[in-house]
Amino acid sequence: MVEDIFGYGVGKIPHSGPEVGAKYSVGNLAQRRIVMSEGEFCAKDLTLGRANALVKKLGGMEVVDGILAETLKFTIEAVVEQKKSVLRLLAEFVLPEQVGNFNPQQFFRTRSGLCVWDDFKDLVLKFAKPVSGVVATTIRKHELVKPANDSQIRSGLPEGHVFQASELCGHLAGMILRQPNGGAGQLLNNGYANLFYVQVGSEVVVVGVLWSAGYRRWSVFAFQLDVSQWRAGRQVLSRATAG
């Protein structure tokens, strides 16, 4: 006798429910739902077509028999949609060692070729101390591929991406000096911001630097996090590993 997936043979009759006395076959089971009491069948809305699809998804009747016989086990995992990163990794490079004494307060002053905004002075510069050299640091350079706030950006950066204030000031000064008059280098010079995240006291802030062709100068500024969204095309520079 041919048997369907519900355990009824062709021509057998369900022993309960409103369709008692009706004959069933594999063909008409595909067209009709079997209504049974909850105590007898835990999925009364299951159709033959859906059950057959489930068997195929599991890998066939041999797998189903193994699960029922408890010789095979399977796990159920929710499919979580992966969020696409707002960043695209462009390159990894090393910022060279800065030799000699460096005083951030003396360097970061508005002058010809450099504009230092008050928010950078208030949020970052007051935490930066004079140092005797700055060690070489491996940096990852990313392009922001769609608008995002700081929290969204930071979720795609390495765990140790945050700079210390004195460290950032030393390396940022070196990068600016290596690109005089807005020349080519690791910093964007097309008017788009280059972003860094820096630890200042108990919080992290974002530092930006951009080349202003109209004024022929680099501008350095800072904001608290998530003040607004950054537009696509901006560049994010981060530590590759924790310092």
- Tell me what the pLDDT averaged over the chain comes to: 82
Q: Do 45 and 132 share a domain, yes or no?
A: no
| Domain with 134 in it | 87-239
Q: Does 223 lie in the same domain as 170?
A: yes
Nearest to 108 by CA among 130, 81, 138, 90: 130
Whether residue 122 has pLDDT greater than 70: yes
| Residue ending a domain, choose from 76, 110, 130 | 76
Q: Classify residue 217: in a domain, yes or no.
A: yes
CB 179 within 8 A of CB 187: yes
Whether 65 and 158 share a structural domain: no
133 and 193 both lie in a single domain:
yes
Residues 92 and 72 in one domain: no
Per-residue pLDDT band at 219 (split at 50, 70, 90): very high
Question: Quick one: 14 and 45 in the same domain?
Answer: yes
Supply the Cα-derived Rg of the chain in whole angstroms: 32
Q: What distance in Å separates the CA atoms of residue 162 and residue 178, rounded to the nearest whole number?
A: 22
Question: For residue 150, which of 218, 87, 221 has the smallest C-alpha distance?
Answer: 87
Residues 102, 167 contacting (CB under 8 angstroms): no
Q: What's the Cα-to-Cα distance from 42 to each of 15, 49, 61, rounded to whole Å?
A: 16, 17, 20
Residues 31, 149 within the same domain: no
Q: How far apart are CA 125 and CA 52, in angstroms?
A: 68
Instruction: Assess whether pLDDT exceeds 90 at residue 236.
Output: yes
Q: Is 81 part of any domain?
A: no
Q: CA dist 78 to 55, 59, 72, Å?
A: 19, 19, 20
* Of 197, 195, 215, 186, nearest in space to 114 by CA: 215
| Res 32: pLDDT | 43
42 band by pLDDT with thresholds 50, 70 and 90: low
The pair phi, psi for residue 144, each rounded to 5°, is -80, 115
- Structure tokens given for 125: 């510069």
Assess if residue 205 is contained within a domain. Answer: yes
Our count of domains for the chain comes to 2
Half-sphere exposure at residue 231, Cβ-oriented, CA atoms within 13 angstroms: 4
Query: What does the pLDDT average to over 35-40?
Result: 44
Answer yes or no: do 159 and 61 share one domain: no
